[in-house]
């Protein structure tokens, strides 16, 4: 079993729950920063479901607004 990451640990790109790279917010975009903050809050709270939601929304936003 993999232990849950503790609050305050740096964001790991090799998070076992997210084998693909998480979406990267675009600097200066209010929507990106809002979703990134939401994801960070969920990560700190160890709320994996909320973090997944934020990642999905951020990925969707990036595709629709930034064409990435
Ligand atoms: Zn954006």
62/68 Cα distance (integer angstroms): 6
pLDDT tens track for 47-57: 999 999 999 99
Q: Say what the pLDDT of residue 15 is.
A: 54
In a domain, 45, yes or no: yes
Domain that holds residue 40: 30-65
In a domain, 19, yes or no: no
pLDDT band at 3 (very low <50, low <70, confident <90, very high): low
- In the numeric block, which tokens belong to residue 66? 């930034």
In a domain, 1, yes or no: no
40 CA distance to ligand 1 centroid (A)?
Answer: 16
In a domain, 35, yes or no: yes
In a domain, 48, yes or no: yes
Number of domains in the chain: 1
44 CA distance to ligand 1 centroid (A)?
Answer: 22
- Would you say the pTM of this structure is higher than 0.75? no
Which protein residues have their CB within 5 A of the ion that is ligand 1?
26, 29, 31-32
In a domain, 54, yes or no: yes
- In the numeric block, which tokens belong to residue 35? 């979703």
In a domain, 56, yes or no: yes
In a domain, 42, yes or no: yes
Burial class (CB in 10 A: 0-12, 13-18, 19+), 58: buried
Residue with tokens 């709270």: 45
């Amino acid at each position: 079993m993999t232990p849950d990451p503790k609050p305050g640990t740096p964001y790991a790109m090799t998070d076992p729950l997210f084998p693909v790279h998480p979406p990267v917010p675009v600097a200066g975009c209010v929507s990106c920063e809002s979703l990134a903050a939401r994801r960070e809050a969920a990560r700190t709270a160890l709320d994996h479901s909320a973090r997944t939601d934020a990642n999905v929304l951020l990925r969707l936003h990036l595709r629709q607004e930034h064409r990435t």
